[in-house]
Amino acid sequence: MKLDNLARIDLNLLVILQVLIEEESVTRAASRLHVSQSALSKSLNRLRETLGDPLFLRTAHGLKPTAHAVQLGKMLPQSLQGLYQLTLPPSFTAHNSTRQFAFAMVESAYETLIPYFIGTLLNRAPNLKLESFVWNEHSIQALQQGQIDFGISGRELHPQAAFQVDRLPEGIAHQTLFTDHQVCLVRQDHPIISTITAGHWDLDIYLDMSHVQVRCEGNDWWALDYHLAELGHHRQLSTIVPDFYGAASVCAHSDLIFTLPSSFAKHAQKLYPLVELTLPFEFIPLAYVLLWHERNSDDPGHRWVKEIICESVANALAADKR
């Protein structure tokens, strides 16, 4: 390593470069860094001179990174995270820490999991600042770039699932919090209830019904739909909504059937007059997993938060079984 060459570089410029790569806009980057656009433009010119590359090209849709900038964008997050770690104290003291942690969670985790650990976290570390976001198709990238610290997502353990626990993107670590299975919900007094009471409930009847579906991570199909397609079947997805509570409401006010994780079904039934039905065929379970980037595995604060989450969820689930 040529430290004399590194000494000539203003490391603040690397932070500016990372933000510009993420925002692709001088205006948005300046706002995020709390500097003027003029100051940021001067810093960009310094970057260009230092790195010997234009870095960005102006287009009608904002700044577009050059090939060199794209390559730098792949290395910068981990490098900056390493530099950031150097500024942190070597230990983490929960009761007086003012650290900030950002989470991205699937909607169902807010009801099924966050009550298990949020109280313990804030009781033991009352000065922590916690930010949460809805898990979406960009959350893995946010974990890789260090924009969020933890993800909690439900993953169907199916070979054709878009995101598989045993084939995580590079650098992403995980721990399974618990596994769940799919059930169905229908409104009270739904005609299907009398049919089931009479002993008639199978795949053919299930497929004849109209379904309400939640769009997850931009996808209309779940692993269940891919599984059925392999068998030559398709559900009648009559209504597709963006969230679980919306789907539960539609289900409660129509003859549509809603297939969902059993852990969330319990919460939906507290809000709406819904009846739970077993899925009329066998299907593999899904896992709720805690995700983080490996670069944070040895950070005392991250490790403490991770241990609290895993321990609290495990204790709560064990208590529920007793």
Mind spelling out the 3-state secondary structure of the chain? CCHHHHHCCCCHHHHHHHHHHHHCCHHHHHHHHCCCHHHHHHHHHHHHHHHCCCCEEEECCEEEECHHHHHHHHHHHHHHHHHHHHCCCCCCCHHHCCCEEEEEECHHHHHHCHHHHHHHHHHHCCCCEEEEEECCCCHHHHHHHCCCCEEEEEEECCCCCCCCHHHCCCCEEEEEEEEECEEEEEECCCHHHHHHHCCCCCHHHHHHCEEEEECECCECCCHHHHHHHHCCCCCEEEEEECCHHHHHHHHHCCCCEEEEEHHHHHHHHHHCCEEEEECCCCCCCEEEEEEEEHHHCCCHHHHHHHHHHHHHHHHHHHHHHC
Sequence-distant (6+) residues with CB within 8 A of 40 are 16, 20, 26, 29, 30, 33
Instruction: Compute the distance between CA of residue 280 and CA of residue 303 in angstroms, rounded to an integer.
Output: 41
Question: Does the pTM of the predicted model rise above 0.85?
Answer: no
Per-residue model confidence as pLDDT tens for the chain (322 residues): 565 666 667 888 889 999 999 999 999 999 999 999 999 999 999 999 988 999 999 888 888 999 999 998 888 888 888 887 777 666 789 999 999 999 999 888 888 888 899 999 999 999 999 999 988 888 999 999 899 999 998 876 555 544 455 567 888 999 999 989 999 999 999 999 999 999 999 999 999 999 999 988 778 888 889 889 999 999 999 999 999 999 999 999 999 999 999 989 998 999 999 999 999 999 988 889 999 999 999 889 999 999 999 999 999 888 776 6
The class (CATH top level) of 3-86 is mainly alpha
pLDDT of residue 169: 80
The answer to whether the Cα torsion of 142, 143, 147, 152 is positive or negative is: positive
Task: Spell out the CATH class of 182-284.
Answer: alpha beta
Q: What pLDDT does 162 receive?
A: 46
Give ∠ CA 96-303-138 in degrees, rounded to 5. Answer: 105
How far, in Å, CA of 257 to CA of 280, rounded? 13
Question: Which pLDDT score is estimated for 163?
Answer: 47
The pLDDT of residue 196: 95
CA distance 23 to 56: 12
Domain with CATH 1.10.10.10 in the chain: 3-86
What is the location of CATH 3.40.190.10 in the chain? 99-176+288-321, 182-284
Q: What is the pLDDT of residue 322?
A: 61
- CATH 3.90.1150.10 applies to domain 99-176+288-321: no
Q: What is the reported pLDDT for 62?
A: 83
